[in-house]
Amino acid sequence: MAATDFKDYYSILGVSKSASADDIKRAFRKLARKYHPDVNPGDNTAEAKFKEVSEAYEVLSDNDKRRKYDQFGRYWQQADRTSAYTGNAADFGGFDFSNYGSFDEFINELLGRFGTTGGFGGSSASRGYTSYRTSPRGSGFGTDFSGFNTGAPSSQQSFDQEANISLSLREAFRGTQKRLNIGGDEVKVRIPAGAKQGTKIRLRGKGQLNPYSKQRGDIYLIVNLLPHNIFQFEGDKLVCEVPIAPDEAVLGGKIEVPTPDGSVTMNLPAGVKSGQSLRLKGKGWPSPKGDRGDQLVRVVITPPKTLTDQERTLYEQIQTQRSSNPRSHLSQVSL
């Protein structure tokens, strides 16, 4: 990757490199709401910005990816290859990655640093390591699986390949088709509805050629779900947060909540607590069998930021006449 292609994910989210996980999440949610395609229909610039913000959050919200990004800069995605070339985990603190025009230039110098000779044809090749490149195309979901082998294959070598494919939550929920470039051939891949993070999609016979059996291995596409500004997963459950007013929490009633199919009316019980989760049966994520799981709605009591004079008067009347003390059980607590 050329230096000009490098994306500064911290700048994209508008946070510092020392930002906490909560700071990063807050920054993403703010930008995701601003640039979400549903808020900016037909705005290609906003859609591109939303994808860029989602990509930045995907990396910086993952501790392992963030660590690699901070250490390796624009080569962070190829960082796992270094252990294969050197045969061990290495301290790369002495390298200035901005001095390298490509990751392979870095690897060549790295091999020399660890006393490995012969470049890609030296001792690393004698161990039979095979590396593969994946690169986004078009909308960011196409993949180029052109690979290179650093040494002669062995009869025990696996000829299967793996690559990540990023999907929006909408694509994963409804299913979609992708056009992938595999070894110079364009292949249509159907992604079934209900794909989850880590789901593997098998492309039979699209992997590397086995010179012994003359058969090709398989390619496994590993699904990576892009973050959404409303929905998220907790285990297998689809969850969304819904703000409610203090009076709604006290009195209950009917409220509109989002689901993957659109808004539905939900009964809110009186006396609900902030952070409490309510269940919407059959409105969650589809299973491979075609049925739907449940969706969890987490309510968050949100007081108004501004009050009219009448509202303030009514709240003050409630305060003076309130019969319960929610902190009464804490009055005798001490250490």
H/E stretch holding 30 reads helix 21-35
| pLDDT given for residue 175 in this prediction | 92
Q: How confident is the model at residue 218 (pLDDT cuts 50, 70, 90)?
A: confident
Specify the higher pLDDT residue, 89 or 190.
190
pLDDT at 148: 37
Residue 108: per-residue pLDDT: 52
List of domains in the chain: 130-149+158-228 (2.60.260.20), 231-322 (2.60.260.20)
pLDDT of residue 126: 30
C-alpha–C-alpha distance, residues 167 and 196, integer Å: 9
Sign of CA dihedral 248, 252, 258, 264: negative
- Better-predicted residue by pLDDT, 141 or 245: 245
pLDDT score, position 259: 96
Q: pLDDT confidence of 80, banded at 50, 70, 90?
A: low
pLDDT for position 77: 67
CA distance 204 to 189: 11
For all residues of the chain together, what is the average pLDDT?
A: 78
Report the distance separating Cα 17 and Cα 298, nearest Å: 31
pLDDT-based confidence at residue 164 (cuts at 50, 70, 90) = confident
Q: Is the pLDDT of residue 333 over 60?
A: yes
Is 162 within 8 Å of 220 (Cβ atoms)? yes
Residue 144 DSSP one-character state: B
pLDDT the model gives residue 172: 94
Q: Which of 83, 72, 59 is nearest to 166 (CA)?
A: 59
Contact 27, 19 (CB under 8 A): yes
User: What pLDDT is stored for residue 99 in this prediction?
Assistant: 52
AA identity, residue 61? S
Residue-wise pLDDT tens digits, 11-29:
999 999 889 998 998 899 8
DSSP track, 245-307 = -HHHHHH-EEEEE--TT--EEEEEPTTPPTT-EEEETT-SPBPTTS-B--EEEEEEE---SS-
Bigger pLDDT: 3 or 334? 334
Confidence class for position 261, pLDDT limits 50, 70, 90: very high
The pLDDT value recorded for residue 68 is: 84
Least confident of 131-145, 247-261, 274-288, 297-311: 131-145
